[in-house]
Structure 1
């Protein structure tokens, strides 16, 4: 496999976009969403579909993670992932400190602010652990497949890495945030049928988004590679 590319002109842009999407998705994930009427089959909840607000943008972090791993290699992808982890942890601590600070006497939104952005240990732990494991696995699988296939079969490594990473990410987050592990951390849990639905919908949706956006991912990777090649030739 060719040597990893050193960071160049577009690296900061890709990493900044990656971290920004991650932080926005983490805040949006505090809201659970149900879509459709109630319907169960054999004790398994089919409807409503259960997801969270993070599903709107979070799949895009995997696309940018693929770009980092494909163009720059595992080392640069790992650095971006660790940076995202650190910024997410910093965001959580900041929300904790701000939530604990005494509100102004004429500010009446303290309870609302804390209920949305307050430090919820199980949500924070779930988000950070799931993100770290999922993204690192995604990057590692992509690079390992590339070592065997070279530059060919990009779609194979993109989809395979996404399936592996998103499965671990979704399973870990849902189990800790709203499953039995959440109870151990002092939180509640949703019923098992709803939890299974939550995991399944989240996984299928995230993988589906990347599959649909595969042509766009191809173009982004190609554009970044052309730009980096042009910069290296200066």
Structure 2
């Protein structure tokens, strides 16, 4: 006898064009966190005191950017790879537009009696190299994260959610960090090569650690959305190419 509280197991391809109650909200949260984490903290190196180690540097964006990976996990787990792919492309377009808008606004000549241009340029000025690194790292890392999670869901038959949320983050964040930090800061002023490598591995470890700590929250959100939407999407027969936006 079927449990009315249990979401139905459905193949992702059977939901083409379907509408979900909460998908738009999850997508909006993903894009908002992505944009804010790129505006605030992406280029700042902070430090934390570790017992027995001393002060250890880390990128300030680590505090909030990993939440986008958690939401990416939720998107793929609940709605399937194709809809997650669509959101990743939306996020990529949003970051590119944010960079363009920042450049235009900073370059506009300030009014003579407005004295904050220098500070405004420091805060919102976009370094093309960092923008390129951020977009490439985000795009590649998110697609790896979504692909690994969708494949692992098939391999595990939908069991042991924690293995695929953590496993996909290990892979996705590794790709993200390996692309972003060398591309953005290798040879840059104020960044030694040793510092780039140290921050890269620190970022990766902290992001994975964040994923592990947020696993209980991920379980709650995934469980709620699956019950609310009434489906449990498996990517059976899905075309995993990243170069598409159809669902």
Structure 1 runs not aligned, ≥5 long: 40-45, 181-186
* Structure 2 equivalent of residue 81 of structure 1: 88
* Structure 2 equivalent of residue 192 of structure 1: 193
| Cα 1:7–1:197 shift into 2, 3 Å | farther
| Cα 1:47–1:171 shift into 2, 3 Å | farther
1:34 pairs with one of 26, 41, 47:
47
* Structure 1 equivalent of residue 36 of structure 2: 24
* Structure 2 equivalent of residue 141 of structure 1: 148
Q: TM-score, normalised by structure 2?
A: 0.83
* Structure 2 equivalent of residue 163 of structure 1: 170
1:150 aligns with 2:157: yes
* Structure 1 equivalent of residue 125 of structure 2: 118
CA distance in 2, matches of 1:221, 1:50: 33
Q: TM-score, normalised by structure 1?
A: 0.87
CA distance in 2, matches of 1:7, 1:23: 25
Structure 2 counterpart SS, 1:9? coil
Contact 1:71–1:225 (Cα < 8 Å) also in 2: yes
1:175 pairs with one of 172, 177, 182:
182
1:207 aligns with 2:208: yes
**Taking CA–CA contacts closer than 8 Å with sequence separation of 6 or more, which of the two structures ends up with the larger relative contact order?**
2
1:67 aligns with 2:74: yes
| Cα 1:35–1:18 shift into 2, 3 Å | same
Structure 2 counterpart SS, 1:194? helix
CA distance in 1, matches of 2:90, 2:38: 15
1:11 aligns with 2:19: no
Contact 1:96–1:119 (Cα < 8 Å) also in 2: yes
Structure 2 counterpart SS, 1:133? helix
* Structure 1 equivalent of residue 63 of structure 2: 56
| Residues 37-75 of structure 1: CA deviation (Å, up to 9, x unaligned) | 9x9xxxxxx654222221111110000000000011110
Structure 1 counterpart SS, 2:43? coil
CA distance in 2, matches of 1:92, 1:124: 7
Structure 2 counterpart SS, 1:164? helix
Count of aligned pairs? 217
Structure 2 counterpart SS, 1:35? strand
CA distance in 2, matches of 1:84, 1:205: 23
Q: Give the number of the structure whose residues are more often helix, by fraction.
A: 1
Shift of 1:189: 5.8
Structure 2 runs not aligned, ≥5 long: 1-8, 232-247
* Structure 2 equivalent of residue 91 of structure 1: 98
Output the aligned Cα RMSD: 1.8
